[in-house]
Amino acid sequence: MQYTEVMVRYGELSTKGKNRKDFIGRLAGNITRVLKDFPEIEIHPKHDRLHIVLNGAPFEEIDQRLKKVFGIQTYSPTIKVEKNIEAIKKTALELMQATFEDGMTFKVNTRRSDHEFEYDTNQLNKMIGDHLFDNMDNLKVQMKKPDMVLRIEVRQDGVYISNQLIKGAGGMPVGTAGKAVMMLSGGIDSPVASYLALKRGVDIEMVHFFSPPYTTDKALAKAKELAGILANYSGKINFIAVPFAEIQEQIKEKLPEGYLMTVQRRFMLQLADRIREMRGGLAIFNGESVGQVASQTLESMVAINDVTTTPVLRPVATMDKTEIIRLAEEIGTFDLSIKPFEDCCTIFAPPRPKTKPKLKDARKFEDRLDVEGLIQRALDGIEVTTIRPNETFLDDQAQIDMNLL
């Protein structure tokens, strides 16, 4: 059965009053971007729906991409036919024969926005239902929660027939909520936090701290590859790698062990904030979850957050680790996150970080360092890469290692 169009429904967008135009425009742009390797496709955003005209493109592949576009509540592959009853009957029957399985229940649901059409919805339901019963065995109608709803929409420009209602990713189109930076490590939590930020329409750029020679190329490659998985939800993602070794060496040399972690985190947040400012972002996101580790107690957050007044948003703050892991599995980042390439925090983690650091002491110890000089040198060393959906970095690395042998 060849579907001719996909009908996309907006959900939350519809309630957004005057911003609606911007939302629909962004969504159309984001859909165009994820489908750009199907040049035959046409995208028509309307005020209540968006139509994707397939022109022969395979729905199965389009389906995989649409599932990851935020701002879509539901969508249906449909077949458009002319406004005559014989054409409707014929296609409805073909679609049912191709997809209906024994034991299922169904109903016909007709809508009519063209009131000039010669039959009303009751007549249409009956005529189509009768036609199906005349030509198929074992059909069972059920009005409440049937397994399949055969939807027939009579519109001005034609009749749309569909029997699937697919749940979209929900949320808001990426870009509608503005720009922000995301602190992405190689762990489990920050990729999930990234997904949740994108889901609310925030266009994020990844900030990643790495510490060569203490951390390997693999740790950096892993973080980039995680960004590649997340890029499925945004079309592409900028990845900003920030050299962090000098700062860590200085902290380790000059500060008491109990404050290594707190002051490292203060530097990370300051750097993230400076990068945010340079790149026109409005907020900082990270993957902290209250109480998960020493740096994520409320006391620690007070001592760390002190370096900025920029909103620091923590999408997974209140989630249990098991809930975060479940989401990580769902979005496909978990298996990569648990690969054991140690990042900069693991290498310089003190054995006993303070779980209740004091803000006053954190400031006092930090004053032993040339904060501005360290920050400036780290900023001078940043490298920005644009990462595409599913771009891989670890495999390339494995390839290089093989070649060296």
Given the complex with Mg ion, which of 129 and 187 has the nearer CB atom? 187
Near ligand ATP by CB under 6 A: residue from 345, 362, 378, 387: 345
CB of 224 to Mg ion, least distance (A): 16
Q: What angle do CA 157, 161, 162 make, to 5 degrees?
A: 135
The count of chain residues that interact with Mg ion, using the rule CB under 5 A, is: 2
Given the complex with ligand ATP, which of 69 and 268 has the nearer CB atom? 268
Question: Choosing among ligand ATP, Mg ion, none, which partner's interface includes residue 269 (Cβ < 5 to 8 Å by kind)?
Answer: none
Binding mask 21-40 for ligand ATP (x = CB under 6 A): --------------------
Under the binding rule (CB under 6 A), the answer on residue 106 touching ligand ATP is: no
Near ligand ATP by CB under 6 A: residue from 230, 260, 313, 344: 344
Based on its alpha-carbon atoms, the radius of gyration of the chain, rounded to whole angstroms, reads 27
CB of 340 to ligand ATP, least distance (A): 13
- 8 Å CB contact between 281 and 181: yes
Q: Name the segment binding ligand ATP (CB under 6 A); options: 87-95, 122-130, 339-347, 376-384.
A: 339-347
389 backbone φψ class: left, alpha, beta (φ>0; ψ -120 to 50) = beta
**Could you give phi then psi for residue 61, rounded to 5 degrees?**
-75, -40
Which 150-189 residues touch Mg ion, going by CB under 5 A?
Answer: 185, 187
Given the complex with ligand ATP, which of 141 and 347 has the nearer CB atom? 347
Q: Across-strand partners of 207?
A: 183, 240
CB of 269 to ligand ATP, least distance (A): 9
Near ligand ATP by CB under 6 A: residue from 76, 91, 234, 295: 295
Q: How many CA atoms lie within 13 A of 212 on its CB side?
A: 10
Near ligand ATP by CB under 6 A: residue from 80, 151, 208, 276: 208
Question: Choosing among Mg ion, ligand ATP, none, which partner's interface includes residue 189 (Cβ < 5 to 8 Å by kind)?
Answer: ligand ATP
Question: Choosing among ligand ATP, Mg ion, none, which partner's interface includes residue 344 (Cβ < 5 to 8 Å by kind)?
Answer: ligand ATP
Under the binding rule (CB under 6 A), the answer on residue 197 touching ligand ATP is: no
Given the complex with ligand ATP, which of 3 and 267 has the nearer CB atom? 267
Under the binding rule (CB under 6 A), the answer on residue 267 touching ligand ATP is: no
Instruction: For residue 78, give every residue at least 6 positions away whose Cβ sits within 8 Å of its Cβ, in sequence order, or none.
Output: 3, 4, 5, 6, 7, 151, 160, 161, 162
Is the preceding peptide bond at 213 cis, omega within 30 degrees of 0? yes
Binding mask 124-143 for ligand ATP (x = CB under 6 A): --------------------
User: 264 vs 175, 296, 305, 371, CA distance in Å?
Assistant: 31, 13, 12, 11
Under the binding rule (CB under 6 A), the answer on residue 343 touching ligand ATP is: yes
Binding mask 298-337 for ligand ATP (x = CB under 6 A): ----------------------------------------
Indicate the pairing of strand 158-162 with strand 203-210. Answer: unpaired
Contacting residues toward ligand ATP, per CB under 6 A: 183-185, 187-190, 207-209, 286-288, 292-293, 295, 343-345
